[in-house]
Every structure is written in C-alpha cells, then in structure tokens.
A and B are shown apart, each in its own frame.
Chain A
Amino acid sequence: MRLVVPLQGVVQGRGGLIFGSLIPCALFYFLQLYLKRHRSPRNPPSPSASLQNLAEMNRTSSRSNLLSRGSIGPARISSLATSISKPNDSPYYIGLDKVSEDPYDRFGNPDGVIQLGLSENRLCFDLIEKWMLENLTDSIRGRDGDDLSISGIASYQPLDGTMELKMAMAGFMSHVIGGAVSFEPSQMVLTAGATPAIETLCFCLADHGNAFLVPTPYYPGFDRDMKWRTGVELIPVHCRSTDNFTLSISVLDQAFNQTRKRGTKIRGILLSNPANPVGNLLSREILCDLLDFAREKNIHIISDEIFAGSIYGNEEFVSIADVLDSEDFDKSRVHIVYGLSKDLSLPGFLVGVIYSLNDNVLVAARKLTRFSSISAPTQKLLVSMLSDARFIKEYMETNKKRIRNMRDLFVSGLEGLGIRCADSSAGLYCWANMSKLIPSYGEKGELELWDKLLNVAKINVTPGSACHCIEPGWFRCCFTTLDEEDIPLVMERIRKATDSRAS
C-alpha cells in the first residue's frame, strides 16, 4: 500500500496513465532483480565444487570456522595448469583420445577406430621380439666380467646418459645417415624421448616470449612441446603445394621481418628433416642457405632429424651435420634432435638425443636432463641392442623395405579413391590431398571432413589445419601402425563415408 500513495500522485500529475502503469512495472522489475540477486550464493569459481564444499561445511561444522571470508573454492592452480587441463581442442589430440576409447582390433574390435594419426613404427616389431628372445636373458644384471650385481644400474647414473649408450647412439646415428658423418659422444645429451629433448633445447636457447620460425605444415606436438612451459612462440613459415611444400628463404625472411617489426625476438628456426607431416627432404642447397640466413640474423637452428632412419625413397638424405662438416659454417648455432622411437619399433624405449657443438648449450642442457633422464635398465638394454651391428644392419634394411612397401600399398589405395599424395621419400606417413572431398574450401570444410572420417568412417587421420597448413584439405595418414590386411578396410571405410556425402 505504500506504493499506491506515490503512484496516485504520479497518476494524477503529469504523464498520467502512462507513468501510472510504467512505474509499477519498473518497480516490480527491480523488486524481482533484488530478490534474485540476494537469493543465489556468492559466485565461487566452480559451482559444483562449491556445492560440494557447502555440503561438507554442514557435515563438518566444527571445521567451518577454518574457512575465511570468500575462499570457498578449492585452491587455485597455475594459469599454465588451467590451460593444460582443459579438454583437448586440437583435432590431433581429440583423434588420439577417440582411438584409445575405441581402438580397432581385427579380431577383438573390428568396428573400432583405426589409428592413422600416430607416427609410430610397428612394422618390424617381430625383429625386435626375436632379438630380445635370443639376447635378453639377464641383460638387466649384465654379464660383463663378474659384475652380476644390480648395483651397477640401480645407482644414480650420469643424468644425461651413460657414456656406453652415448657411444652406441653415436654409432647408430652415423649408420642411419649412411656413414656420412661421425658423431662425437661427448657432444650428446640423452633424454627420455625426443619430446624433452626439444623442450630442453628450447629452454636453453630462448626466453619466455621469444619466438622460433617453423616451416608449415608442422608436427602438431610442437605446439605443446615447444610452447607450454617455455612460453616461447612458434611463427609459421608457410610452404605450399605448388612446390611440394618446399621451404623458401624469401618467405622465411618475410616472416622474420614481420615478427621482428612487432617487437618479438626470434631465437631460431625449427626444422624437421625429414619433414613431418609431408615427408620430404631438405636439399643440401637449402640447408646451406639456411645456415647463411641463421648467421646473418645471428639465430640458432634446431634440426629435428628423428625420421632420418625412415627413408624409403631414392633421394639422398643430407643431415645438417653433414653440411656443417663439409663447409665452413659456424657450428655453434646448430643443434640436432634425434630419437629412437621412430626407427626402433618400440615407442616405449624413450631415448632422445640433443646433439650440439655449442659447449654452452651442452652444459646447460646436461643440467636440465635431471628432469627427464632415461631409465638405467633401458639404457643397458639399448647398448646391447645397438652394439649388435649385424642385427642393426639387417633391421634397418628390412625396416626400409617394409616402410616402402606399406607406403606404396597405402598410397595406391588412396589413388584408387582419387586421392593423391605429396611427393615424399621418408617418414611413417603420407600427406594426402583430400581437398576435392571437403564440403567447402576452407578450414571449416576440412574439419567437417575430418570429423566425418573420425566418427563415421572411424579412421583417425590428422587434418592439415592441426599442422598449420595454409592450404585446406590436406591430411596426414600414418600407415606404419597398420597391417597390410587392414589397408583395404581403411580404403573401404573412406570410400563409404565420402561417397555417402556425394549422394
């Protein structure tokens, strides 16, 4: 009733009926708003946690005094952790998750998702198994001399790898590139896989906020491995299908200048040679040009050569170490990353290598390996395996043949569907051009196709956009986790899924 008296005055004054009806409405609206605001609890960061917390407060009332004003929510985690723990938003990772939820198995789960998104090599697993059956009897405790005790490998080892393993790796790496270069074990730092090798190098070469130039398309994992904890930026240097995605120095230069203009410091170039996902090689000329460029701009070059042992084509692979050796380039700015997981059919081995002739980098990297050292029993096993020259020679030759064979079968299978692949001589994958199959020419269309392939055809391939490819429609398909018998099924599934779109 208190409201009515003033209203009367308003209604009887100027404005009359209009005000007479507007004002009550307005007052009613504000009343609602007031009630609503004061009904809901104060806004905690995550509603479900706070509801749970409120319930806990009631149950453990004696401890409710411990909660100070406004700190109902759980203790915050760092911004880094917050962004890392978000649900996967890259197709690369979403696809991997899908496969682990519903993995294809020819007998156990024939309708599962077929994995073509993980560049792992399982083709020569049988050779590894055979070697282990014949050799792995006591290699843990060792048969060298009379030292059968475990204390040899149980104790703290040099954190950057034992000298025995470094020597074995140096020999292996040299073998892999056809003996063109000999690697010095003392210039090596070993890590538990190539992932920490790349990150460690990044920590040594760049500060938070600095950048690396990276030719596209590139391995999606770099966006995590190089950026997450280091705070480094990756600047894409776009390559195009017109010249089979070959790196152009002028485009590199452009990217360098543009980045510098906006005030970001470039620390180096990150190369993958052989390239992932395209599978092509950098020529000797381009490597020389890159070394000149790096010297001119006073930056580093990281050359990730992890697929050096997966060369099946006839083109000659030239390691940047080879170019450094033969020409008079500044050796202190080049760092090579290598790893065993691609070549030795055993991803679980986890051996990564940082090879550098820059002693300052080595000193720093060495200290950082305490956070990612290789397990001693694994080091011992690998020394044994890598020192078996006869086995390694046979393995590498067979491996090449089998990769070549799978690639030919897979690529011709795709060709049967009208899908052509980029020219490649290396890697465990092919770079397929499905631009004719995407509903619209752009990233959106590409992702629609990717989604259809993943959820309808149930094959996990990696879309070019996840690799920062500037041309839509390209997909990376890894074929070394397949059996030959699975290839027709893969092609059939693709055909069905993409045909139905047309009809």
Chain B
Amino acid sequence: MAIDIELSRVAFSNTHGEDSPYFAGWKAYDENPYHEADNQSGVIQMGLAENQVSFDLLEKYLEDHPEASTWGVGAPGFRENALFQDYQGLESFRQAMANFMEKIRGGRATFDPDRIVLTAGATAANELLTFILADPGDALLVPTPYYPGFDRDLRWRTGVKIAPIYCYSSNNFQVTPEALEAAYEHAVSMNLNVRGVLITNPSNPLGSTVQRSILEMILEFAVRKNIHLVSDEIYSGSTFVSSEFISIAEILQNRGYNNVEKERVHIVYSLSKDLGLPGFRVGTIYSYNDKVVTAARRMSSFTLISSQTQHLLACMLSNKEFTENYIKTNRERLSKRYETIIVGLKKAGIECLRGNAGLFCWMNLSPLLDEPTRKGELALWKIILNEVRLNISPGSSCHCLEPGWFRVCFANMSEQTLGVALERIHKFMEQRKNLQ
C-alpha cells in the first residue's frame, strides 16, 4: 500500500559497484565459508586483503598493557581524554601516528602531527580528498590495474570521474611517461578537467613498490600540469624489505620540500593493512597543503574515530619497543608467506608478477583462458570459484587491460589454510594438464 516514494540519484546509482564479480565472490564465500575443522570443502577467501599474520603481537601488547584498552579509566587524565571530541583528533594519537609513519619509512621522511587529519578508514580518506581536490565532473588519473573499491570511493558521492592510466605486463605494469600523457590527453579530449593523479604505493593489486624514478616522473608531471598528486600508501608497512619502499614523502624531503611540489602532494594512510585492524576504522590524510588540511579537518566531522580507539592506539603506537618489533616481525612474516605462495604456485606451473609488498600476489593465468578476453577471464574465474572453491579477484574488476591476471590474497588465513589452497590449485592445474 505504500506509495513508492522517490529516492535520490545517489541512492539508486550502482556506482557502489557491489554488482561486480569482486563482490559476487564474497557472496559465494559468505554462503559456504571454508573452516579448518568444520567445513573443509568450503570456499577459501583469497579475495580479501586483510592481514592476520601478526595478531599475536597485538594480543600480547594488549595483555601487557591493560591501561590501553581500559581507556586509562581510574588514571589521571581519563576525564579529559574521555570527554574529548574534536575533529582535530587526540594530539597524542596524531603524534603517535606521525612517529609510526616515520618508522615505517626507516626515518627517511618526517611527519608533522599537525598535518595529520583523522578519518574513519582510508576509504573515507580517499573520498574526502576527492571532494577536496576535484569538483563534480572533474577527473582523477589512476594507473591500472587498481583497487576495485576506488570506483566507488572516488566517484560515488563526489561525482568525480576516473581516467585510467593504462599499464602493461611488458614492463611489469609500471607507469610510463607516454601512458601518463596519453591518459591526460584523452581526458582533455573528452572535455574533462583533470585535477590530479592518484597512485597506490605499494600497489594494489600488483603487490609491488613504485620505483623512485617513476615517482619523480609522476611528481614532475603533476607540477607541469599543475595538478595534485595523491599517494595512497596504505601498504607501506607491508613492504617485505623496508628499504625497498620509497614514499613520496621521502622524494619531497630529498628535493628540499620545494613549495611548488609539496603543496600538491597528499598522502593517505591507514592502520587496516599494516596493523591488521580494519575493524577499528582508522585512516589518515597527510597533506603538505594548509588549505587542504583545514578543509579535510572540517569535513572529517562526517567520519571521526572514537576517542576510545584513538587513546588505545596512541598508547600502542607510542610504545617504541612494540612498534619496532611489530614492524620488523610483520615484514618478515609477510615475506615468508609471499615466498610460500610464490613457490607453491610455481610448482603448479603458475607465474606471478615479481612482488615485494602487500598482502597479495598478482597471478598470471592467461595461458589457461579459453579466449584472451574479459569473457574468457570471467569464465575461468567462475570455474575457480565454483570448482576449486577459491575466491580470487579477476583482473578485469581491477580494470586490467590484459585478461587472465588475478589477485590472490595470502595474509588473511592461517598457514595451514594457505597450504590447502595451494594443494587445490596444484590439483586443478594437474587436471587441466591431463585434459590437454
């Protein structure tokens, strides 16, 4: 009997992208999730970039430091902390974040806590920056392949478009000056106003860091076109060897914090991947541009972090011993996992892109495709989901132009489960070989 009352365009748009295979695979997993003991034939989730390899370190910290999770209740300063709610964010937390970010970069860059703006997750940070740097209808250049969530986070409510910078396996999917120029020119020819470049470094889904020369090239391009440069460094702490990650902050520092360069640079970070705490909803925007910091701070009122969480993390991240040990151990464990999966895949006859960071590897299954097209890729993806019962992410959902690449996550499960997944892949590849 209810009249069908109208909702907004945003409400009905499908820019949220939840109808894509990336999310369809999740549904399949939800319906039949693998469990070591209870459901050994279930779907193994390899499409979720979550870091579960270092929970024990977090556990131990919380056990040893109950004052962190009890919010310091009973201790002096509790009332002040607990009553605090300001979009500036707890100073001790911003300080701790700045220190943590510096540690991750091996001290090769410094961060000013007053330039840190807190958001409820990197998802919100990316959307906020897009609102701030671009007007509706404008475009951001983003190298492919990219995180499928960007289609939603950068475009949905902002009305901003993504102009892809196409990258190819011939040079390990690195951004080239030609590709960058071509993407820019193409956007301009479509009457789009390009406002910035957004890179993810280390890259998702590639699982590799961006080379210094390429970072410099992109920075100089941004200066030449007078546009912004956003560097999503959410996987910076997940680089297997610390020195291989070069942050845009380091580049700016080496070049003397040149005003013309730094005022257009903004870094996104979060604790969801490096610290394995996506449920805490902690993200940050770090900007060298005062206006952006001011605007972001005010707009962060729509996406604040609870003061309880800020307090807990302030305690944790200002503990030198904990952070140094965590960063080092986390890197080692991820590196080890990575080796395990690469070796396992190689044994099964599968090649991956050489990676050095992140929670996933970029796997090449193009030899297995019935046809070298998106259709062929999705057909293979369905087989892997339904027969091998592994949820992996097809490259087409990451806008990869070359069909047959898949992102496979390895850090969101136990070593044992990873072993099971590799066995299944091995079996599957054997079967395919025998059929031929």
Contact = CB atoms under 8 A, between A and B. Distances in A.
B322 interface: no
A411 to B, nearest CB: 24
A149 B280 CA distance: 15
Contacts of B74: 133
13 contacts: A60-B258, A68-B224, A77-B292, A85-B294, A129-B73, A136-B73, A150-B62, A154-B277, A204-B11, A206-B8, A348-B307, A349-B307, A370-B124
A440 interface: no
A341 B85 CA distance: 10
B73 A133 contact: yes
A105 B16 CA distance: 48
A154 B258 contact: no
A82 B55 CA distance: 42
Nearest to A56: B259
Interface string A68-79: 100101111111
Interface in A110-133: 120, 122, 125, 128-129, 132-133
A250 to B, nearest CB: 24
A137 B8 contact: no
A66 to B, nearest CB: 5
A80 B295 CA distance: 9
A358 B306 CA distance: 29
Given A60-B258, A192-B306, A196-B303, A77 B55 contact: no
B77 to A, nearest CB: 12
B127 interface: yes
A138 interface: yes
A122 B303 contact: no
Contacts of A120: 83
B306 A374 contact: yes
Contact of B280 (A52, A358, A375): A375
Interface stretch (A255-263, A359-367, A458-466): A359-367
Nearest to B135: A78
B263 A80 contact: no
Contact of A347 (B85, B279, B289): B85
Contact of A66 (B66, B71, B223): B223
A373 B223 contact: no
Contacts of A78: 131-135, 138, 195
Given A56-B259, A132-B70, A331-B2, A375 B306 contact: yes
A455 interface: no
Given A68-B225, A196-B302, 6 more contacts: A67-B224, A85-B292, A132-B73, A154-B277, A204-B10, A370-B123
A12 interface: no
B21 interface: no
A374 B281 CA distance: 7
Interface string A372-385: 11111110010000
A29 interface: no
Nearest to B130: A78
A229 B159 CA distance: 11
A300 interface: yes
B278 A378 contact: no
A207 B16 CA distance: 17
B192 to A, nearest CB: 14
Contacts of B228: 75
A233 interface: no
A28 interface: no
Contact of A367 (B16, B127, B280): B16
B55 A150 contact: yes
A154 B58 contact: yes
B79 interface: yes
Contacts of B153: 371
B280 A75 contact: no
A75 B59 CA distance: 44
Interface string B245-261: 00000000001101110
A154 B276 contact: yes
Contact of B120 (A76, A210, A372): A372
Contact of B298 (A63, A85, A205, A207): A85
Nearest to A193: B304
B260 A56 contact: yes
A80 B277 CA distance: 32
Contacts of A129: 73, 78-79, 82
A75 B226 contact: yes
Contacts of A347: 83, 85
Interface of B: 1-3, 5-12, 16, 18, 48, 50, 52, 55, 58-59, 62, 66, 69-71, 73-74, 78-79, 82-86, 120-121, 123-124, 127, 131-136, 138, 153, 157, 195-196, 220, 222-228, 255-256, 258-260, 263-264, 276-282, 289, 291-292, 294-295, 298-299, 301-309, 312
B71 A151 contact: no
A378 B309 contact: yes
A430 B312 CA distance: 36
Contacts of B86: 100
A49 interface: yes
A76 B69 CA distance: 42
B4 to A, nearest CB: 8
Given A122-B83, A205-B7, A348-B85, A60 B256 contact: yes
Contact of A138 (B2, B69, B138, B298): B69
Contact of B83 (A82, A196, A331, A348): A348
Nearest to B123: A370
A293 to B, nearest CB: 14
B108 to A, nearest CB: 21
Contact of B3 (A56, A155, A332): A332
Contact of B121 (A66, A155, A361, A373): A373
A208 B159 CA distance: 11
A329 to B, nearest CB: 10
B120 A205 contact: no
A299 B225 CA distance: 46
A178 to B, nearest CB: 28
B308 A348 contact: yes
B73 A154 contact: no
Contacts of B6: 267, 298
Interface in A153-183: 153-157
Contacts of B309: 375, 377-378
B85 A350 contact: yes
Given A140-B312, A150-B58, A367-B18, A195 B301 contact: yes
Contacts of A206: 8
A381 B259 contact: no
Contacts of B12: 364
A330 B5 CA distance: 10
